[in-house]
Structure 1
Amino acid sequence: MILIKNVEIFAPESLGKKDILICFDKIAYISENTHIPKGNFPEIEIIEGNGLKAAPGIIDLHIHINGAGGEGGFNTRTPEMNLTDFTLNGITTCIGLLGTDGITRNMGALLAKSRALEIEGLSTYCWTGCYAVPTRTLTDSIRGDIILVDKIIGAGEIAISDHRGSHPSENDLIHLACETRVGGLISDKCGILHMHVGDGKNGLNAVFNLIDNSNIPFENLLPTHLNRNSLLRKQCVEYVKIGGFVDITTGIKNEGDEAVSASQLYNTLLKEHISPYHITMSSDAGGSMPFFDDKGNLTKLTRGMPNTNINSIKESIELGIPLELALIPLTSSPAKLLKLKNKGKITEGCDADLILLDNKLNINTVISKGKVMVQNYSPLVYGTFENS
């Protein structure tokens, strides 16, 4: 049992200063002042929360947990991520995925890494597939993967508008979306088709066509990387205004006149009076961040980092967005859209996934599934092969 005393709670809505009692892996009790009974009572670890802010643990729905990349040759394949890459950056729930490379990376390895991180202390899920269409699966279909594999919640990241993808036709995308949706219906999962959108000249046109020419609900489609260029930003606003859901990449920064940060696009969408519950953010951490010239030649290659999530929250605050709103795209919004029913909020009965932030919004403490993973800015728990 853990008792966090006198902490300012953002659930993500502001609840003021309260105590949070954690029992095993759940939030058991939230109160103004919790009194510990005297006598024969189980030992309770006390964490003094005065001067700290409690927020839900970050949910990163697009993260390459077992590495990705390879667009610059075999030596540019990025390595697997370690437990503290997540915990030091406040990530308590992640959804892993493949990317460009569905050959030297595969769904079996992704699922194994997901289970390893779960054992080490995180909550983990997976998207099935990769850029390519037909895409890579564990069973004979996307529908089969979602129904039969507990950790697989949808399909992604299927590439559109990108020279590295397979240029799926309109019927291809409709078929993929239907398979994903039905798999979700049968297994009571989100059944989302998660689409990587590249720098191609068609932008989000394929997604608009999918909506216009099929019966797939908006809730089953989630395009990502929409802050990468001006065309996508414009289409992003149009798409959300007609009811769509979008994911913004915190790992994309201001690059010349094209890309903008996740917080800048989020601020634009809020000014358009768009609900924050139609917007999620994710890091794309663990994946390569390649830059190509107009002839498709690789010019630069960097690696996505998980600290971009908490940095985006800070940047949102600097833009004048209240903390309650700044938290939503990385906590309660992905939890709601992905049907993670006990995640993304600080409420009695929900999973005890919490981060404690100091007055500069630096991460002081991380609790995942009721276990303290980080305290006083330092890891308490390391991954199996990390040097402690």
Structure 2
Amino acid sequence: MFKLIKKVEMYCPDKLGKGDILLAGDKIAWVGESFPGKDLPDLEVIDGTGKIAVPGFVDGHVHIAGGGGEGGFSTRTPAVVLSDLIEAGVTSVIGVLGTDSTCRYPGELLAKARSLREEGLSAWALTGSYAIPVKTLTGSVQDDLVLIDLFVGVGEVAISDHRSSQPTLDELNKLAASAHVGGMIGGKSGVINVHLGDGPSMLSPIKAIVETTELGLGQFLPTHVNRNPELFQDCIDYALSGGMVDLTTSTTPQFLEEGEVKCSQGLRRLLDSGVSVERITFSSDGQGSLPSFDSTGAFTGLSIGTSRSLFPEVRDSVLVEGIPLETAIQVITTTPASVYRLPRKGRIAKGYDGDLVLLEKGDLSISSVFAMGKTVVQGGRAVVKGRFEP
């Protein structure tokens, strides 16, 4: 019932120094220099010497029910399994649909989010789809956000991409308005996760909505903004004007050779340009397809994204780019939790959910993971599995 992590370096995400953390049931009950209590029933004491405690990671863009399909039915990617998430330190996940909203649909996404919850993870989903008009459960984005508890926003909606539905500005305006009002009534973020491709329009459709309506930049979270140098520069200007930006950690050597900006380097550039870390998130695009196309748009190959790519980019931000851990860790903890208004997530603090990751102090490798107070990873390996995992 009680777990006491003693003498651990605490980044909550602010650096608090060495201390103790008490987990009681599924919550954090105490954080401080030295826990004063004694004789708690069923107390498990965990030695945190040589370890760093950070909040459990929030992966805000995962195709939890599978994605892909750009190269035919055999290229449909599989659904995520629990161990792939928790061994990556992910304790909160947000599911999205992808290119295919014909064979995959919001009900399937919602069911997968609920199944992950039954397996001990915190999971939510976004209603909607790549194409506009978006697919919903109730027939309305606003109704989905108001009436369905686990839908916290909309997306991913594709723009500036040959795979998008080439939505008009009026269509995007109406979608954004519906998401905004639905979020207000439902007590949700209502944010729209916007997939950005390699198209020349880049972020201009979002900027046009803000310029011509009463909606603000906070209504949108553009993702994949590091996919090419021109788009990344546009994203820097966008973030400096007050927008949020999301960098995708899953990649391939080919993508990087073609100009994709490595996330750790992108974080360094954004911070050096004056963008607040509170406007930057990383997400993995886990289980999403990473397709390659030739100059005519013909499909040439495919890899699969993974949540296991998420923390290595944060680690490189610290060990290679020299960004303080208390700053870098925010892009996968406090900031995504704030963007999606996830209750009691993203921090190590009294009353928050018992989601923690213990890192080895030397190389920042993942040692242990706690999800809702339960030990799910020890020695870097999952000690619990999903129902159908071997």
1:66 corresponds in structure 2 to: 65
C-alpha contact 1:227 1:252 (8 A) present in aligned 2: no
Matches within 5 A, 1:259-278: 259-278=260-279
State how far apart, in whole Å, the 2-side matches of 1:185 and 1:252 are.
35
Q: In the alignment, is residue 132 of structure 1 matched against residue 131 of structure 2?
A: yes
1:322 corresponds in structure 2 to: 324
State how far apart, in whole Å, the 2-side matches of 1:13 and 1:104 are.
44
State how far apart, in whole Å, the 2-side matches of 1:294 and 1:204 are.
22
1:348 corresponds in structure 2 to: 350
State how far apart, in whole Å, the 2-side matches of 1:250 and 1:152 are.
24
C-alpha contact 2:240 2:274 (8 A) present in aligned 1: no
1:33 corresponds in structure 2 to: 34
State how far apart, in whole Å, the 2-side matches of 1:5 and 1:94 are.
28
C-alpha contact 1:228 1:252 (8 A) present in aligned 2: no
1:223-276 Cα deviation digits (max 9, x unpaired):
100000112111101111111111111113552242111111111110011110
1:88-121 Cα deviation digits (max 9, x unpaired):
0000000001000001111111111000000101
State how far apart, in whole Å, the 2-side matches of 1:47 and 1:344 are.
22
Q: In the alignment, is residue 155 of structure 1 matched against residue 154 of structure 2?
A: yes
Matched residue type, 2:84: D
Matches within 5 A, 1:274-353: 274-317=275-318, 318-353=320-355
**For 1:67, what is the secondary structure of its paired residue?**
coil
Matches within 5 A, 1:1-388: 1-38=2-39, 41-252=40-251, 255-317=256-318, 318-358=320-360, 359-387=362-390
**For 2:194, what is the secondary structure of its paired residue?**
strand
Matched residue type, 1:316: S
State how far apart, in whole Å, the 2-side matches of 1:299 and 1:261 are.
22
When the two chains are superposed, the root-mean-square deviation of aligned CA atoms in Å is 1.0
State how far apart, in whole Å, the 2-side matches of 1:247 and 1:310 are.
14
**For 2:292, what is the secondary structure of its paired residue?**
strand
Could you list the runs of 4 or more consecutive aligned residues of structure 1 that deviate by over 6 angstroms after TM superposition? none
TM-score for both structures, normalised by structure 1: 0.97
State how far apart, in whole Å, the 2-side matches of 1:121 and 1:173 are.
36
Matched residue type, 1:369: M
State how far apart, in whole Å, the 2-side matches of 1:211 and 1:240 are.
14
Q: Which moved more, 1:156-165 or 1:41-50?
A: 41-50
State how far apart, in whole Å, the 1-side matches of 2:250 and 2:13 are.
22
**For 2:307, what is the secondary structure of its paired residue?**
coil
Matched residue type, 2:197: G
State how far apart, in whole Å, the 2-side matches of 1:152 and 1:216 are.
21
> Number of matched residues?
385
Matched residue type, 1:311: P
C-alpha contact 2:29 2:351 (8 A) present in aligned 1: yes
Matched residue type, 2:335: S
**For 1:357, what is the secondary structure of its paired residue?**
strand
C-alpha contact 1:102 1:136 (8 A) present in aligned 2: yes
State how far apart, in whole Å, the 2-side matches of 1:297 and 1:361 are.
41
**For 1:50, what is the secondary structure of its paired residue?**
coil
1:318-347 Cα deviation digits (max 9, x unpaired):
111111111011000111121113110111
Matched residue type, 2:347: K
Shift of 1:31: 2.1
State how far apart, in whole Å, the 2-side matches of 1:256 and 1:374 are.
34
Shift of 1:138: 0.4
Gaps of 5+ in 2: none
State how far apart, in whole Å, the 2-side matches of 1:36 and 1:255 are.
52
State how far apart, in whole Å, the 1-side matches of 2:274 and 2:189 are.
25
TM-score for both structures, normalised by structure 2: 0.97
**For 1:307, what is the secondary structure of its paired residue?**
helix
Gaps of 5+ in 1: none
Shift of 1:36: 4.5
**For 2:256, what is the secondary structure of its paired residue?**
coil
Shift of 1:8: 0.3
1:110-138 Cα deviation digits (max 9, x unpaired):
11100000010110110111111111100
C-alpha contact 1:252 1:262 (8 A) present in aligned 2: no
1:306-365 Cα deviation digits (max 9, x unpaired):
111111111101111111111011000111121113110111111110000002111110
State how far apart, in whole Å, the 1-side matches of 2:135 and 2:21 are.
43
Matched residue type, 1:118: R
Matched residue type, 1:67: G
C-alpha contact 1:142 1:155 (8 A) present in aligned 2: yes
